[in-house]
């Protein structure tokens, strides 16, 4: 008598373990070595470090002052690396053409749309970093969006596979919960009557079957079957001794209400990300943060506390785009900074929560997680020449408490530094940009490549399009 793969999988299903839990060495108690998790966070309109308004870092590499609206990160400054900064796309509507480039660094030069994504959204030539890391580790990715969309589109394409297909994301915390957290809650629940007995009988049956086969063979064939049996014996023992991650039902959040306030939506997403990282059911997560905050607090030019959008409507243009043609540029700028500060507070709270969560290696979850803060643009004024990127966590893998000030080049005198891109046919295109602020010698590709290497992906040739990996000096973050 033999046991079929179908019967085996049916038995495993009866054990109440979700597939992702079953495949996780951390969840199965097979290792005391903690993997690195990566959370990519895109904030619409960027994180607001802005030279035009004096919002810039000052000091030296390890002794520096964080500008508004990022000052809230002082609470976790020793966990941060501020990459100041890296350039992105340099043409078209900076929002639209940058969404699909932000995590891929592979949108072709001067493309403005595509058949798959629509008139304003070009299709990248390569996959996004979340997909690359997950494929390398045979892991899963949790992708969620909290209103990350602009006036031009209801959803933004952020993540792509090797064939440039858009990878799905959750737009409601309830949907993410049902798909991700529900199975974990079931696995953490007390065993149902008969479940342990069924599991024990399953592995006893497999052992008897292999014993019978071993009695009929010898030599190398017998050695192969002995190895096979030992592997399943070890698996059976692990399943019987430790069938779930070290989580209790009290640690698993309840299903979100149908229409939570925006603040609660963000909290739900962050809690889910913390949980799947702790259980190691997902090695990577992507969080898009967009408009939706109501009533955030900020201070006007006189120091008085204000609340929310002073123009009531159209945050995108009335607040975020605080350009020189604005009717009250300073007021719009201060409201925008308060909006960014609201998100900074959320990220700080999340990082502190991870730092209180133990991991399997005796450290904390923050030690084994890198949070990457970025955006399709750097500021509400569409800066893509020198966008701030912030890395949080990572333990001893990188030198933290650090400000990495990017070398810059004048667009009129580039000193041999290639600033441009690549066509779909593979030809290099030099940018004709010859005015305005200086540009970082580093591209978003340099940041993404270094994060990928920290996560264990070799990326010897860089990341994204070759033309985006031409910096005259490398961006090195690893210790």
pLDDT of 7: 37
Residues 128, 11 share a domain: no
pLDDT of 225: 64
End residue of a domain, out of 207, 242, 277: 242
pLDDT of 382: 86
Which of the 8 DSSP states describes residue 35? P
Residues 359, 452 share a domain: yes
**CB contact set of 280 (below 8 Å; sequence gap of 6+):** 24, 25, 26, 27, 35, 37, 245
Classify residue 255: in a domain, yes or no. Answer: no
Residues 233, 178 share a domain: no
Residues 213, 144 share a domain: no
Q: What's the CA gap between 239 and 242, in Å, rounded?
A: 5
| More confidently predicted of 161 and 119 | 161
Q: List the one residue out of 387, 362, 391 whose CA is nearest residue 453.
A: 391
Classify residue 257: in a domain, yes or no. Answer: no
Whether 97 has a pLDDT exceeding 50, the answer reads: yes
Whether 17 has a pLDDT exceeding 50, the answer reads: no
Residues 238, 340 share a domain: no
| More confidently predicted of 294 and 391 | 391
Residues 202, 111 share a domain: no
Classify residue 427: in a domain, yes or no. Answer: yes
Residues 153, 174 share a domain: yes
Q: What is the CATH number of the domain that holds 69?
A: 3.40.720
Number of domains in the chain: 2
Residues 116, 17 share a domain: no
Classify residue 473: in a domain, yes or no. Answer: no
Give the phi and the psi of residue 372 in degrees, each rounded to 5: -110, 115
Residues 118, 22 share a domain: no
Classify residue 249: in a domain, yes or no. Answer: no
How does pLDDT run across 185-222, given as a tens digit for each residue? Answer: 666 555 444 445 545 555 565 566 666 666 777 777 67
Classify residue 253: in a domain, yes or no. Answer: no
Its domain, for residue 217, covers: 1-31+192-242
How does pLDDT run across 6-16, given as a tens digit for each residue? Answer: 433 333 333 33
Classify residue 309: in a domain, yes or no. Answer: yes
End residue of a domain, out of 181, 214, 242: 242
Confidence of residue 132 (pLDDT cuts 50, 70, 90): very high
Question: What is the model's pTM?
Answer: 0.83
End residue of a domain, out of 242, 274, 304: 242
- The answer to whether 263 and 292 are in contact (CB under 8 A) is no
Classify residue 217: in a domain, yes or no. Answer: yes
How does pLDDT run across 144-191, given as a tens digit for each residue? Answer: 999 998 656 667 889 999 999 999 999 999 898 888 877 666 665 554
Report helix, strand or coil for 258: coil
pLDDT of 351: 99
Residues 272, 238 share a domain: no
Residues 14, 61 share a domain: no
């Amino acid at each position: 008598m033999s046991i079929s793969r179908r019967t085996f999988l049916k038995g495993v299903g009866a054990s109440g373990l979700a597939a992702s839990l079953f495949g996780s060495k951390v969840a199965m108690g097979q290792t005391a070595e903690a993997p690195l998790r990566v959370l990519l966070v895109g904030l619409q309109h960027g994180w607001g470090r802005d030279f035009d308004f004096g919002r810039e870092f000052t000091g030296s590499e390890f002794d520096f002052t964080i500008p508004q609206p990022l000052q809230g990160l002082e609470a976790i400054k020793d966990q941060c690396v501020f990459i100041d900064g890296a350039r992105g796309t340099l043409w078209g509507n900076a929002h639209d053409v940058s969404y699909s480039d932000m995590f891929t660094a592979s949108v072709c030069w001067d493309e403005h749309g595509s058949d798959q994504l629509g008139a304003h959204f070009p299709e990248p030539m390569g996959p996004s970093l979340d997909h690359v890391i997950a494929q390398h580790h045979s892991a899963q990715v949790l992708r969620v969006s909290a209103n990350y969309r602009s006036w031009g589109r209801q959803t933004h394409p952020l993540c792509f596979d090797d064939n440039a297909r858009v990878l799905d994301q959750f737009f409601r915390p309830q949907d993410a919960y049902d798909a991700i957290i529900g199975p974990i809650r079931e696995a953490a629940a007390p065993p149902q009557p008969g479940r342990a007995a069924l599991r024990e009988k399953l592995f006893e049956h497999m052992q008897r079957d292999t014993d019978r086969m071993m009695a009929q063979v010898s030599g190398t064939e017998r050695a192969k079957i002995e190895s096979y049996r030992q592997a399943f014996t070890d698996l059976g023992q692990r399943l019987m001794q430790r069938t779930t991650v070290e989580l209790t039902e009290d640690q698993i959040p309840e299903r979100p209400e149908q229409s939570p306030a925006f603040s609660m939506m963000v909290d739900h997403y962050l809690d889910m990300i913390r949980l799947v990282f702790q259980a190691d059911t997902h090695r990577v997560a992507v969080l898009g943060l967009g408009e939706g905050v109501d009533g955030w607090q900020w201070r006007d030019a006189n120091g008085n506390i204000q609340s929310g959008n002073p123009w009531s409507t159209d945050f995108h243009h009335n607040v975020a785009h605080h350009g020189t043609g604005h009717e009250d540029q300073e007021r719009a700028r201060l409201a925008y900074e308060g909006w960014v500060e609201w998100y900074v507070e959320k990220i700080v709270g999340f990082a502190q929560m991870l730092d209180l969560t133990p991991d399997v290696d005796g450290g904390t979850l923050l030690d084994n997680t890198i949070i990457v803060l970025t955006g399709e643009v750097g500021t509400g004024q569409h800066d893509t020449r020198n966008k701030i990127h912030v890395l949080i966590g990572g333990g001893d893998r990188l030198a933290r408490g650090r400000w990495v000030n990017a070398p810059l080049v004048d667009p009129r005198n580039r000193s041999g530094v290639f600033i441009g891109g690549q066509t779909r046919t593979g030809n290099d295109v030099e940018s004709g940009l010859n005015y305005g602020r200086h540009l970082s010698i580093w591209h978003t590709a340099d940041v993404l490549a270094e994060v990928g290497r920290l996560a264990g992906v070799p990326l010897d040739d860089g990341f994204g399009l070759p033309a985006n990996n031409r910096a005259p000096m490398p961006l090195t973050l690893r210790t």
